[in-house]
Chain A
Amino acid sequence: MLTNQNFIKVFFLETHVERISNLQDFKKAELDRETGLFLYEDMTLGRRFEDKCAEMYYRGKMFGFVHLYNGQEAISTGVIGAMKKKHDWFCSTYRDHVHALSAGVPSFEVMSELFGKATGCSKGRGGSMHLFSREHHLLGGYAFIGEGIPVALGAAFSSRYKKEVACDKSSDSVTAAFFGDGTCNNGQFFECLNMAQLWKLPIIFVVENNKWAIGMAHDRATSNPEIWRKASAFGMHGEEVDGMDVLAVRGAAQRAIERARAGEGPTLLECLTYRFRGHSLADPDELRSEKEKEFWGKRDPIKKLAQEIIEGKFATEEELKSIDKKIDTEISESVKNALEAPEPPSEELTRYIWAED
């Protein structure tokens, strides 16, 4: 007899490991020296910035809930790195530091924000989960699950509106909305997939499926663990991709961007990934098995790219090490300067409530 459980097993690959081990071939982005070094540098910046955040948090320089991105760098770099800075739009979640960095927000401004300083990208009023930068088209970090997706949809709507209503031919921006597997059980996800496809909006829904919504395993929370397949319910194009492989993510992103810019509508891109740390720095991380962590730890996206660069002779190990060093220097300077930066003035407590302030 075909029970419900058997039914799921027959038609859907159930576990995260099983899925990533059975991914079909898809066209990856091409690797050359310039691309490889750019991707490597961006991912390294993300990783080392987050490591520094953990250090600063434990040293009592940073407060609140801090959610680190370690392990997922291939997604931020793969997607944002394929988009046009200060032209396309980016929308993030509470795990937003690295998206901000990839979008071009200087590490000094992000670190300042985490220290609550006046020089922070949100003037010390946002904190870790609420990074914003109009200059870099970062629509923001949204801390409630799913609430960023409609905002991203609005940016995509503006793009089409300006082109067709205001007749601005240069208006071809694409919006990337980042969110996790847990969000894909939330109504706003489905509502926005529907509207995006209905109106053919230039948006990419980037699911960073890291398998765990804090302590809720993805397979325990959803009836069909293959999120990318949910696109088909809306007649939308969906893809699953190895989220630990920056070239794979970049390739998928390039296809989605091209379709969006051509007015062919949205894409649901499910990136299979894993976070190397707990949900936040306050998470005891007791539910994830060592075996699982070990499996994913071997798929470190930065090491994978480094290996491909070296084996393809696009650059030497020494060159990559010099990038590491450069990034470490940059982050150290950002930390030093952010620590020395001024606090927001007390007399400006109520500033920015109103548009006129």
Chain B
Amino acid sequence: MAGTLLFNALKEAIDEEMANDVNVCVMGEDVGQYGGSYKVTKDLYEKYGELRVLDTPIAENSFTGMAVGAAMTGLRPIVEGMNMGFLLLAFNQISNNMGMLRYTSGGNYKIPAVVRGPGGVGRQLGAEHSQRLEAYFHAVPGIKIVACSTPTNAKGLMKAAIRDDNPVLFFEHVLLYNLSEELPDGDYICALDQADVVKEGKDITLLTYSRMRHHCLKAVEELDKKGVDVELIDLISLKPFDMETISKSIRKTNKVIIVEECMKTGGIGAELIALITEECFDDLDARPIRLSSQDIPTPYNGNLENLTIIQPHQIVEKVEDLISGSI
């Protein structure tokens, strides 16, 4: 049986949830007639009509705010950021309105909304289209943040996000849309708050998410040949972290390296290291390490871009260094 491409897995999730619940709707730039810039909503406009798959003007803060008002009054909107970077323009709506409003209102309203779209460093897209907003939004209270990484978890997580009564920021990666995989049969969902133990191992824990899962897999293969048994965990949930799964792994391996695509300063790894230090300090045999992107705007030049983000060989080297005790 032919596999399903990741963007189609997301579409299946949205399509199925729209068929199940009349209140589920999509809004954003070019989501309708154009089918979405990465075709995640292709054909849904024809199937569900222009109100349920709403092509909006280019007004990120206002259509995101509109989704909040729609969610407060009974709908379950999915907002597409044509590129997640554009949603910097909607920072206020995501922070003040989506994240904080339920608490500030003393529980008067809930905001069942999903904000999704392509993020991460692509191929020579330039600085503005190569952002990792998960770190920017990480401090906002009241929002859940997830990152999908395979067609299977993309579909299962998207369905869970749509069904969740809280606002969910859903990160897709611009370079993963064409991954193909055979999907499980039937109506399945993946828990929004559970990390995925991709490969069990005993020597060292690698924590990662999104596209870096695949860089880590390459490194794990290389390390396996060298006799290093890595435990690879895909965080999936960037907020809150699944500390139960993470702690359990560190108790076993006593060593941890975080591999991330976001910038080092104030990044996902920064928060994760803080938590690991607080909660797993006594289980660690070596200092926790971060492999992160450089703290620079992503350059256009291909070579410079490759140097900005972590590459598989760097993961191999760092793991070997840590195992050998040279760092």
Contact = CB atoms under 8 A, between A and B. Distances in A.
Contacts of B23: 166
A117 to B, nearest CB: 11
A87 B107 CA distance: 20
B101 interface: yes
Interface residues of A, number: 49
Interface string B70-84: 111111000000000
A134 B109 contact: yes
A126 B106 CA distance: 7
A80 interface: no
Contacts of B66: 150-151, 153-154, 157, 192, 195
Interface string B272-312: 00000000000000000000000000000000000000000
Contacts of A194: 57, 59
Given A122-B105, A133-B108, A147 B97 contact: yes
B105 A132 contact: yes
A89 B108 CA distance: 14
A158 B69 contact: yes
Interface string A178-222: 000000000110011011001000000000000000000000000
Interface in B123-147: 141-142
A125 interface: yes
Interface in A152-190: 152-162, 164-166, 187-188
A130 interface: yes
B141 to A, nearest CB: 6
Interface string B99-113: 001111111111110
Interface residues of B, number: 45
Contacts of A149: 62, 65
B102 A154 contact: no
B69 A150 contact: yes
A209 to B, nearest CB: 21
A122 to B, nearest CB: 4
B208 interface: no
Interface in B46-76: 49, 51-52, 56-57, 59, 61-75
B96 interface: yes
Contact of A122 (B52, B62, B106, B110): B106
A161 B65 contact: no
A157 B69 contact: yes
Interface stretch (A24-32, A57-65, A252-260, A348-356): A348-356
Contacts of B63: 150, 195
A157 B54 CA distance: 11
Nearest to A177: B69
A227 to B, nearest CB: 18
B68 A150 contact: yes
A153 B93 CA distance: 13
Given A153-B65, A153-B69, A355-B102, A158 B74 contact: yes
A122 B104 contact: yes
A173 B71 CA distance: 16
A162 B74 contact: yes
A89 B104 contact: no
B92 interface: yes
Interface string B166-192: 100000000000000000000000000
B198 interface: no
Contact of B104 (A126, A164, A191): A126
Contact of A125 (B56, B61, B103, B111): B103
Contact of A150 (B65, B101, B142): B65
Contacts of A155: 69-70, 72-73
B166 to A, nearest CB: 5
Contact of A144 (B70, B96, B106, B109): B96
A120 interface: yes
A301 interface: no
Interface string B27-51: 0000000000000000000000101
A147 B92 contact: yes
A166 B73 CA distance: 14
15 contacts: A89-B73, A120-B106, A126-B104, A132-B109, A147-B92, A154-B75, A159-B73, A161-B51, A188-B62, A191-B61, A194-B57, A353-B102, A353-B103, A355-B164, A356-B165
